[in-house]
Structure 1
Amino acid sequence: MKFALNLIGGIAVVLAIVGMFLPLLPTTPFLLLASACFARGSTKLHNWLLSNRLFGEYIRNYEQGRGIPLRGKVVALAMLWASIGYSAYSVGSTALIALLVSIAIGVTIYLCVFVPTLRTA
């Protein structure tokens, strides 16, 4: 089981890195997935992720309940709605469009209501 968690976490890190360069691939969800998998699969990998100079602080702030910076929320929501809009435009099924929009609304509510906005000093 630990091997599977570490494998999924590793794949999530790779996808997060790719997402830093591809506008429609989200980075944050993959980093959070990797952190959750590593926390249960490997203390060493989890500590590596938390001490990473690029995204360690971001993950630590989220895991410790301090939240996400306002800029991060705005970028995440803009990318979310742009990708949902493009996807809704591309698919012809009303049911799929309703599902996509429902997911986007759920994520938007989660980010705006349940995830604190990190205030920088």
Structure 2
Amino acid sequence: MRLIWLGLGWLSVSLGVLGIALPLLPTTPFLLLAAYSFARSSQRFHDWLVEHPRLGPPIRDWREHGAIRRRAKVAAMVALAAALGISLAAGMAWWVIGLQAATAVGVVTFILTRPSGPREGTEPQ
């Protein structure tokens, strides 16, 4: 089972890193899944990920404050709007666009109800 968690952790890190460059692929959820997976398989990799200067801050923000940084919130909403716009431009079926829009509303609601830092309205350092 340890190898499965380890594999899932590295797959999640890979997808999270790809998400940094690809606008429609989320980064933070994959990093959170990687941290969860590494916590069950390798303390060394877990510590590396959580303490990483680039990948660690979103994980620590979520764990310590349930927070999503303002910049990440904006990026997520832009990506959701872009995906919906692409679907509209591609002439997707109305039910696909409706399902996508309903999902986007749920995701945006969740994102906007999370704090942006230790205190609402402050950017974590």
Establish whether TM, by shorter chain, passes 0.5: yes
1:13 shift after superposition: 0.8
Q: How does 1:1-121 map to 2 (within 5 A)?
A: 1-90=1-90, 92-113=92-113, 115-118=114-117, 119-120=122-123
Residue type at the aligned position of 2:94: T
Superposition deviation, residue 56 in structure 1: 0.8
1:45–1:100 distance in 2 versus 1, CA, 3 Å: same
Change (3 A) 1:58 1:101: same
Superposed displacement of residue 54, structure 1: 0.8
Q: Is the 8 A contact 1:88 1:100 kept in 2?
A: no
% identical aligned pairs: 36
Asked whether the 8 Å contact 1:24–1:79 carries over to 2, the reply is yes
Question: 5+ unaligned residues in a row in structure 2: which ranges?
Answer: none
Deviates more, 1:45-54 or 1:24-33: 24-33
TM-score norm. by structure 2 comes to: 0.82
Given the two structures, how large is their TM-score scaled by the length of structure 1? Answer: 0.84
Unpaired segments ≥5 residues, structure 1: none
CA spacing shift, 1:42–1:90, aligned 2, 3 Å: farther
Aligned-residue RMSD, C-alpha? 1.9
Aligned 8 A contact 1:88 1:96 in 2: no
Contact 2:3 2:41 in 1 (8 A): yes
CA–CA distance in 2 between the matches of 1:107 and 1:70? 15
The whole-number CA distance in structure 1 between the counterparts of 2:32 and 2:89 is 29
Aligned residues: 120
